[in-house]
Amino acid sequence: MSHMQILKEQSIDFMSMRNVATIVSGVILLLCLLSILFRGLNLGLDFTGGTVIEVGYENPTEIADVTAALTNNGFEGATVQHFGSRTDVLIRLAPQEGEEASAKLSDQVFMALSEAADGGVELRRVEFVGPQVGEELREQGGLAVLFSLIGILIYVALRFEWRFAVGAVAALIHDVLFTVGMFSVFAIPFDLTVLAAVLAVIGYSLNDTIVIFDRIRENFRKMRKGTVLEICNTSINQTLSRTIITSGTTLLVLFALYFLGGEAISGFSLALIIGVLIGTYSTIYIATAIAVWLGVSKTDLLPTPKEGEVLDDRP
């Protein structure tokens, strides 16, 4: 095999578990959908609009102290978090009417924090996002996901076969719903960086799916004997080593980003961690299982003979 082998080739019967996996996925997706519909997402400032104020303290400070200083001065409901280090603090406030109100607001917040910290604080950055901009971003983000799925459906149908295309897109919808659903269930802030991560998950998961589909197509041509399920199992086992190396190295980087990268990219790295794990699972139990369920067969993937050419069909 051309790729690096870290496992001896296994003979795990993945496909025998496909019905159980389908039921488990169905139940989890239903919970995710219900959470998204009834609980909604904890949308970040990018989507809702509002004001972001970044301040730097001379000495390390506690989130609770900053929140208390804001609450005492009438700024309730502000989101406060450390930004990179314990001296840098990011404050998010709900949208105000007009940019002037927002500018006054940032001055008032800064004065309140200066009083509480005896002047040992400096204003680093103020950003205002209008509710209109937030709404546009929300719509365009949704359209970005939708168009990418339609493009993938067409690409895989042309490259392989329509049954594989349906399986691949079903797996990607499963991955997106699961990842977004987890953010809804646990009320984790959902902002533009998380949306970017969801789009990256689509690409990552598709790459994994295409590798296995490619091997299935290759084995349909090589292995004249063997049922569709046996060929699918063999193909998944043959690419298992590559899947573990790719997912494992990606997860190492993502866990490092999540634990050491600070608040600014925690949502992004968490979405990718969930996506990589669920994407690896869905390639086998959603994409391949659906292609099998739709009745993919050897004849669908055998190359069509060119004029005057006879296919060698000897066993």
pLDDT of residue 60: 79
Cβ–Cβ under 8 Å, residues 175 and 278: yes
* Percent over 70 (pLDDT), the chain: 86
Sheet holding 121-129, edge to edge: 79-83, 85-93, 50-57, 121-129
pLDDT-based confidence at 223, cuts 50/70/90? Answer: confident
- Quote the CA–CA distance of 105 and 103 in Å, as a whole number: 5
Segment 285-298, tens digit of pLDDT:
899 889 888 887 76
pLDDT of residue 273: 95
The CATH code for residues 14-42+134-301 is: 1.20.1640.10
Among 21-25, 31-35, 78-82, 197-201, whose mean pLDDT is lowest?
78-82
Decide which of 66 and 215 is more confident. 215
Segment 159-192, tens digit of pLDDT:
888 888 889 989 999 999 999 999 999 988 888 8
Q: What are phi and psi of 251, to 5 degrees?
A: -65, -35
At 35, the amino acid letter reads S
pLDDT of residue 303: 57
Instruction: Pull the structure tokens for residue 60.
Output: 């390390």
pLDDT-based confidence at 17, cuts 50/70/90? Answer: confident
* Percent over 90 (pLDDT), the chain: 20
pLDDT of residue 32: 94
Pick the CATH number of 50-129 from 1.10.357.10, 3.30.70.3400, 3.40.50.1700, 3.40.630.30: 3.30.70.3400
Residue-range domain boundaries for the chain: 14-42+134-301, 50-129
Tell me the pTM: 0.76
pLDDT of residue 92: 81
Q: Where are the alpha helices (DSSP H) in the chain?
A: 18-34, 45-48, 63-72, 99-116, 131-159, 162-185, 192-222, 228-260, 266-282, 289-293, 298-301
Segment 145-154, tens digit of pLDDT:
888 888 888 8
- Quote the CA–CA distance of 99 and 105 in Å, as a whole number: 10
Query: What mean pLDDT do residues 253-258 have?
Result: 93
Tell me the range of 31-35, 76-80, 151-155, 309-313 where mean pLDDT is highest: 31-35
pLDDT-based confidence at 312, cuts 50/70/90? Answer: very low
- Quote the CA–CA distance of 273 and 270 in Å, as a whole number: 5
